[in-house]
């Protein structure tokens, strides 16, 4: 069956700068793929990840051969096989899942057997800034049950104390984005042990996480950049107790489901994460979130204007998109900007 494919870069301005240890962004730059069979349209969105040398232009270039294959009549699997794990494959894979659900008048949840919760607790992010600014940001979301704290190696203790003091009832996910060394991590253990810590996410660079072998602090350390696909999991045992599933790393929902299944079998604590993106990127991730212990899916909360009918985030709770938004057989006409 031949399909028509369109690929387009989209930029969503943010409501405030989003800072992490690697830099700052003021817009979410994404790539949107649409696939049509003439009667139905499937959509997928991904975020090119600069950490892996991805840009909107490079992702669009990677997608071109797979798009041509679909337009020439290739099966879904054959087209996806032309792509490796990453943002390009994620956008196409999610578009194909959406198209299949619409074509078969069913839902991705029914096709996968995964339960999509109507609402769930999501981490809301306090981005890296001066301690006083981070305290103010935390105070504004102090009613959220779970707060993610972006940190660097620059005085993380002061920033952690500022956030914890401003939101004393929230559990904290501490995320240095590979910005610490092992000495910093170990040196912060007394403070971290006194705080209400849910996870420490990817404290060390992925190529330096052998230092975590045998390290057993009283809070789970979660792999993010160290895990992309299911084949990565074996090397993580003994270093991490939790893993973060992100569609842009795994290359789409298909591989993320395999990662979810194997990580669960190996006993890892699971989190579903995201990049800063619209609800079109979050809707597929919700299919993972129902099977995970934590969700960090506040990406749309950061953008100034999301899709009508998309996710809503309030008081640290994420509400699923309206019926027909993504991944089911209800027409999405009228829901898109």
Residues with a catalytic annotation lie at: 150, 246
Calpha distance 319→79 (Å, rounded):
33
Q: Which of 252, 311, 240 is nearest to 280 (CA)?
A: 311
Pairing label, strands 317-319, 312-314: antiparallel
Calpha distance 186→303 (Å, rounded):
35
First to last CA, the chain: 28
Calpha distance 56→87 (Å, rounded):
9
Cβ atoms of residues 300 and 275 within 8 Å: no
Which string of DSSP letters, residue by residue, matches 144-175?
Answer: -SEEEEE--SSSHHHHHHHHHHHSTTSEEEEE
Cβ atoms of residues 263 and 233 within 8 Å: yes
In the numeric block, which tokens belong to residue 39?
């009667």
Enumerate the β-bridge partners of residue 222. Answer: 201, 242
3-state DSSP: the chain helix, strand, coil percent, rounded to 5? 35, 25, 40
């Amino acid at each position: 069956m031949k399909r028509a494919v369109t690929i387009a870069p989209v930029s969503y301005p943010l409501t405030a700068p989003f800072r992490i240890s690697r830099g700052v962004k003021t817009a979410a730059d994404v790539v949107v793929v649409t696939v049509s069979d003439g009667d139905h349209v499937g959509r997928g969105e991904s975020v090119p990840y600069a950490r892996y040398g991805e840009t909107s232009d490079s992702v669009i270039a990677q997608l071109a051969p797979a798009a041509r294959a679909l337009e020439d009549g290739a099966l879904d699997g054959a087209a996806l096989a032309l792509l490796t794990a990453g943002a390009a494959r994620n956008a196409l894979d999610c578009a194909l899942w959406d198209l299949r659900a619409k074509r078969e008048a069913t839902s991705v949840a029914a096709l996968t057997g995964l339960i999509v919760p109507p609402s769930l607790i999501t981490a809301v992010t306090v981005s890296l800034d001066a301690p006083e600014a981070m305290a103010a940001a935390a105070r504004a979301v102090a009613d959220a049950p779970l707060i993610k704290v972006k940190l660097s190696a620059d005085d993380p203790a002061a920033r952690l104390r500022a956030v914890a003091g401003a939101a004393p009832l929230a559990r904290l996910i501490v995320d240095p984005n590979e910005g610490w060394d092992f000495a910093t991590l170990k040196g912060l253990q007394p403070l971290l042990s006194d705080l209400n810590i849910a996870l420490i996410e990817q404290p060390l660079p992925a190529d330096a996480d052998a230092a975590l072998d045998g390290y057993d602090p009283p809070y789970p350390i979660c792999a993010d950049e160290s895990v992309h696909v299911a084949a990565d999991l074996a090397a993580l045992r003994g270093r991490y107790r939790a893993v973060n599933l992100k569609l842009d790393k795994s290359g789409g929902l298909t591989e993320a489901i395999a990662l979810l299944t194997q990580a669960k079998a190996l006993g890892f604590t699971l989190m579903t994460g995201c990049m800063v993106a619209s609800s079109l990127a979050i809707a597929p991730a919700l299919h993972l979130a129902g099977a995970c212990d934590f969700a960090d899916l506040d990406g749309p909360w950061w953008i100034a204007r999301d899709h009508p009918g998309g996710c809503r985030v309030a008081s640290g709770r994420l509400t699923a998109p309206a019926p027909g938004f993504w991944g089911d057989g209800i027409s999405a006409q009228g829901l898109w900007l």
